[in-house]
């Protein structure tokens, strides 16, 4: 009984409602759904049968282990998440020596160093991250792991200011819960993983060395979708 419940739980996680299915072969000698037919998972019953809303309006359920089918992967889309940066500059003095105390650049001034920062972020990426970016280090076997192909850190100008950006490649659209979990994983990397290494890495520029923090513990720091960012800007302009 316990094994059956574990298997049922696994099946429901693997094939949640709205999963798109393509039939390869149905083991039904009377009136099978034809191979190649596509449909959408409606629900999975207690016997682990997949009840499908077939595109041809048939209603036969799929029986794992007897019927053969595959999941139709959703198209990859780019999802961008935005965050504020902290950029510190250790200026050179008149003797071309680096000052001991940094100057914190505002995000408009930091925009002049966009190319140098992008180059540093690209250089910090590891060969083993080529396919999945920092998702390589996401250990949970859940819908985030299945629906988020990759994410990487970069920067780009937004309304005349330099902002941190997380470029995510996702299958279809994430649910609100999935988006929150993804944000949590990204915050962990920004604060303690990739970001911690980046903020200790000097970036040489013509005016001195700069250090970039993707995260800070202040109450004003947040990670936002483009829609959330635009809503915040709209409120600021009111």
Residue 149 has what pLDDT?
A: 93
DSSP state of 92: B
Look up residue 155 and give its two tokens: 């920067």
0.85 exceeded by pTM? no
CA 185 to chain centre: 9
Band of residue 70 on the pLDDT scale cut at 50, 70, 90: very high
Helix (H/G/I), strand (E/B), else coil: 98: strand
Residue pointed to by tokens 């303690």: 192
As a whole number of angstroms, the distance between CA 100 and CA 92 comes to 10
Residue 121 has what pLDDT?
A: 96
As a whole number of angstroms, the distance between CA 42 and CA 54 comes to 10
Residue 202 has what pLDDT?
A: 94
Q: Of the candidates 146, 157, 145, 152, which has an alpha carbon nearest to the alpha carbon of residue 130?
A: 152
Q: Would you say residue 232 has pLDDT above 80?
A: no
Residue 114 has what pLDDT?
A: 95
Look up residue 115 and give its two tokens: 């190319």
Answer whether 50's CB lies under 8 Å from 61's CB: yes
Residue 85 has what pLDDT?
A: 93
Domains (range + CATH), the chain: 13-71 (2.30.30), 76-237 (no CATH)
Q: Of the candidates 174, 177, 170, 121, which has an alpha carbon nearest to the alpha carbon of residue 148?
A: 170
Residue 14 has what pLDDT?
A: 85
Answer whether 84's CB lies under 8 Å from 181's CB: no
Partners of 65 in the β-ladder? none
Q: Would you say residue 192 has pLDDT above 70?
A: yes
Q: What is the DSSP string of 156-223?
A: EEETTEEEEEEEEEEES---HHHHHHHHHHHHHHHHTSHHHHHTTS-EEETTEEEEEES---STT--E
Q: Would you say residue 187 has pLDDT above 80?
A: yes
pLDDT tens for residues 71-109?
Answer: 988 788 999 999 999 999 988 766 766 667 889 999 999
Q: Would you say residue 212 has pLDDT above 90?
A: yes
pLDDT tens for residues 134-181?
Answer: 999 999 988 899 889 999 999 999 999 999 999 999 988 888 999 999
């Amino acid at each position: 009984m316990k094994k059956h419940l574990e298997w049922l739980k696994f099946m429901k996680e693997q094939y949640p409602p709205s999963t798109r299915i393509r039939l390869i072969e149905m083991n039904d000698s009377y009136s099978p759904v034809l191979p190649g037919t596509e449909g959408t998972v409606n629900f999975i019953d207690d016997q682990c049968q997949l009840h499908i809303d077939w595109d041809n309006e048939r209603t036969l359920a799929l029986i794992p282990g007897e019927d053969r089918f595959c999941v139709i992967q959703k198209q990859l889309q780019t999802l961008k998440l935005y965050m504020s940066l902290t950029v510190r500059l250790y200026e050179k003095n008149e003797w071309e020596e680096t000052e001991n105390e940094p100057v914190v650049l505002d995000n408009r001034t930091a925009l002049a160093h966009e190319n140098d920062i992008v180059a540093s972020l690209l250089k910090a990426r590891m060969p083993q991250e080529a396919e999945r970016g920092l998702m390589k280090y996401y250990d949970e076997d859940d819908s985030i792991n299945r629906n988020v192909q990759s994410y990487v850190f970069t920067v780009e100008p937004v309304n005349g200011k330099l902002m941190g950006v997380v470029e995510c490649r996702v299958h279809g659209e994430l649910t609100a819960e999935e988006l929150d979990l993804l944000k949590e994983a990204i915050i962990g990397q920004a604060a303690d993983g990739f970001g911690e290494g980046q903020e200790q890495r000097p970036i040489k520029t013509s005016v001195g060395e700069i250090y970039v923090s993707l995260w800070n513990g202040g109450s004003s720091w947040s990670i936002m979708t483009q829609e959330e960012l635009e809503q915040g800007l709209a409120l600021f302009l009111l």
